[in-house]
Amino acid sequence: MKFEVMPIDWYKRRDPDKNKPEIKNVEVIGFEKKDGGHCEMVVEYTDGDTLNLNAYISVNDGNQRWTVNGMNQHGVSVLVRLVE
């Protein structure tokens, strides 16, 4: 399955981090089309860093698009959308 990274806008609460590396690749492990389900997300950055995130699966009732929101214990959050 293919996923597209979606931007998360935290700038209303914090200054943007201009030194933040870009996301190179996202792998979602254990994804099932089950609203409220859980899976794992592995995120690779352009600087070579790799993070493992716990993720929550949800579906938008209006447009029926599936999203996966991953977060770790340090507050790093990545949101992806399933491309069908």
Task: Report, as an integer, the average pLDDT of 72-84.
Answer: 92
* The pLDDT of residue 1: 87
Quickly tell me which residue has 């933040």 as its tokens. 20
Domain borders along the chain are: 2-83
In the prediction, which pLDDT does 16 show? 64
pLDDT at 10: 63
Distance CA 61, CA 52 (A): 28
pLDDT band at 73 (very low <50, low <70, confident <90, very high): very high
pLDDT tens-place string over residues 12-71? 666 666 777 889 999 999 999 999 999 999 999 999 999 999 999 999 989 999 999 999
Assigned token pair, 30: 């254990």
CB atoms under 10 Å from CB of 55, counted, come to 24
For residue 79, which amino acid is it? L
